[in-house]
Structure 1
């Protein structure tokens, strides 16, 4: 029987297989990024992680390491095109006695390689450029950029000290020495400015003004915009003077929201049964979860979250609560449709219905029909062109 290959030989073969799959799917388009995928040892960046288990009725994650599943399965999983969770609720796992995790929120991960390389390809870098990365995470994407551009061209910011420390160690073991900073990524890193490119691997509610100041004229910002209900999507902006503008991509990659912009714990006060005014609703709560309409709902009501609750009579209502303005909308089944009860400074459901109606009037286009103009004082998402319908991003 032939001896099993050592871990480095097996990992190198799995990297080549991964690169071939990504290239076949049209995500890996340039030989420079293919060389980076084939060279960077992802297994050094995620020596242990969690995967979602198949438990029924509850979301849970089971620990994965060479010790828990065996070296061969662990290595195979590392080089699959999957996102693996590496931290929950801002706390590190005790890997001396790992256990399944449930009732927890992921706060750090290693993003699926297909999304990583797709974003790096879209970043459109060339030799001699400098890049600022927001969200080091495990350091895997940082390493890919170091391989492509040289460590001296890459600055990466991570908000979590423990996550940053592990990334630094993995980068060092892999032979890369970028400038790593532990800080709030929204402030950028002025010491290395101006940058040619900025890429963010966390979701933001708006474009931080510091980014506009630190990316050179003609430079590119590639980031995901998102809200408290859902992701808006990936947007690529070109900086011109003191503002930046560009378009969303057609699909909807989603990243964890930046910790400094996470939603308040409280959703807001549940209104009493007599509060507000009631009318028939043009749309029901399905617009909050259907991909296209929900994009518009997030734009129209950026500070909103929602949930459904059944009352003593068995009727299920959907509560839409704005934790900033304290406005509310309550949707309840009514004859052959829905009725809505609204109160507070904003008529939330009026705003959502208006936005969805405009979207339908324009032919229900996908996200690629929307763009962003971001200045230091005002930022808007527009439909069709900068003079079309607009929705402000939260400041």
Structure 2
């Protein structure tokens, strides 16, 4: 038994024990597909340093690289859109832009996709290609189409899949547009977050087919959604819960904040919604339904923390400050972001603050709606 085979078997056992891996076909895939082949370019690990998060490269020649490939953790493989582990020495402070998702989440999503023998699958977000390899082992490479927006990431994935013995149909392009030439698909799975599920995905999935995607937003609360496409061309389903998080699809990333507005100006009032309520994952998800284009940040001024929400494109903003037991909010621009959020969160709480697994998602040609059921 080679070292990597032992690591694959041990990983499958851990994923089964943790409740992520349920079915024999997916266990066989985890035991067969070598994750390390998809990390030959190395990965970044978080540096243990104060302040802004720093990342350091871990390369195949480094001690611990192989074992790290089989930990149930996400491994960053690209920084700032272009920087790979071999491109730097030391540490880097930029933001991650591509990663190999933790195997537990990969397997959970593949189980939730409810594939059946003979299903044709479109995967949005090839990434390293590891999940693509699992799909190929489970269904056969001829039934798997995978899309990746980043040409360099796609090239590396193609090579890794080849070394692992798989040759699915790989496309470099905008996954939000799907790939109509090979439609319809029985299953569609997205390994990136989306702020709104594209109707093109619904059009390219056959009636009765399933779409599995992570609904996210610019307040960065997200949940996995499973939708079934109906005969009428409408997709409906529920959020599955579990606080699933992915990097948002690049075409849907928020715009740069630019110069901050004059937050000393604007209309001021007291508010019954504390700004730190948005630290709660579920509350923040509800808030971003009300203000889907708002971004959140904090400023320290005059010894106080100000909580800002800014909609760059609309030119709207809100700034909330705590004074003792009282919260005050100032708002400016053509919309009142805090009014919208407070009204929606208050209504959700009045309905019993249902968990996100009580939320239903509907996608039609007119767009996406998300609603909750009372508890």
TM-score bracket for this pair, using the shorter chain length:
over 0.9
Q: Distance in 2 between matches of 1:74 and 1:209?
A: 41
Runs of at least 5 residues in structure 2 that lack an aligned partner in the other structure: none
RMSD: 1.6
- What does residue 224 of structure 2 align with? 234
The structural deviation recorded for 1:94 is 6.0
Task: Specify which of 45, 54, 70 is matched with residue 60 of structure 1.
Answer: 54
What does residue 11 of structure 2 align with?
18
Whether 2:71 is the aligned partner of 1:80: answer yes
Deviation at 1:263, TM superposition (A): 0.7
- Name the counterpart of 1:391: none
Tell me whether 1:384 sits opposite 2:373 in the alignment: yes
CA 1:155–1:264 in structure 2 vs 1: closer, same or farther (change >3 Å)? same
- Structure 1 range deviating more: 339-348 or 137-146: 339-348
8 Å Cα contact 1:326-1:344 kept in structure 2: yes
Aligned with 1:102: secondary structure?
Answer: coil
Q: Secondary structure at the match of 2:186?
A: strand
What are the superposed Cα offsets for residues 265-286 of structure 1, whole Å, 9 maximum, x if unpaired?
125641252x321111101211
Tell me, in whole angstroms, the C-alpha distance in 2 between the residues paired with 1:43 and 1:116: 15
Are residue 300 (structure 1) and residue 290 (structure 2) matched?
A: yes
Distance 2:252 2:320 in 1: 28
Task: Quote the residue 1:365 is aligned against.
Answer: 354
What's the CA shift for 1:334? 2.8
C-alpha separation between the residues in 2 aligned to 1:94 and 1:41?
Answer: 20
Alignment deviations for residues 40-86 of structure 1 (CA, whole Å, 9 cap, x no partner): 0111001211111211223111111232x32xx21111101010000
Q: For residue 352 of structure 1, what is the aligned residue in structure 2?
A: 341
Structure 2 match to 1:37: 30
Distance of 2:204 and 2:20 partners within structure 1: 29
Aligned counterparts, 1:181-200, within 5 A: 181-200=171-190
Segments of 5+ residues of structure 1 without an aligned counterpart are: 389-395
TM-score by length of structure 1 reads: 0.91
**Aligned equivalents of 2:98 and 2:315: distance in 1?**
31
Q: Which residue of 1 aligns with 2:242?
A: 251
SS of aligned partner of 1:32: helix
Q: Which residue of 2 aligns with 1:159?
A: 149
Shift of residue 290, structure 1, vs aligned partner: 1.3
With over 3 angstroms needed to count, the CA separation of the structure-2 counterparts of 1:282 and 1:32, relative to structure 1, is: same
The alpha-carbon distance between structure 1 residues 166 and 317, as it changes in their structure 2 partners (threshold 3 A), is same
Tell me the CA shift for residue 110 of structure 1: 0.3
Matched residue count = 373
Q: Tell me the residue number matched to 1:342.
A: 331
Q: 1:284 touches 1:338 (CA, 8 Å); kept in 2?
A: yes
Partner of 2:20: 27
Deviation larger for 183-192 or 282-291:
282-291
* Structure 1 residue 315 displacement after superposition: 2.5
Divergent runs of 4+, >3 A:
none
| Conservation of the 8 A alpha-carbon contact between 2:282 and 2:355 | yes
Partners of 1:272 and 1:188 in 2: how far apart? 41
Question: Does 2:314 correspond to 1:320?
Answer: no
Name the counterpart of 1:141. Answer: 131
Q: Cα distance 1:331–1:267, how it changes in 2: closer, same or farther (>3 A)?
A: farther
Change (3 A) 1:11 1:270: same
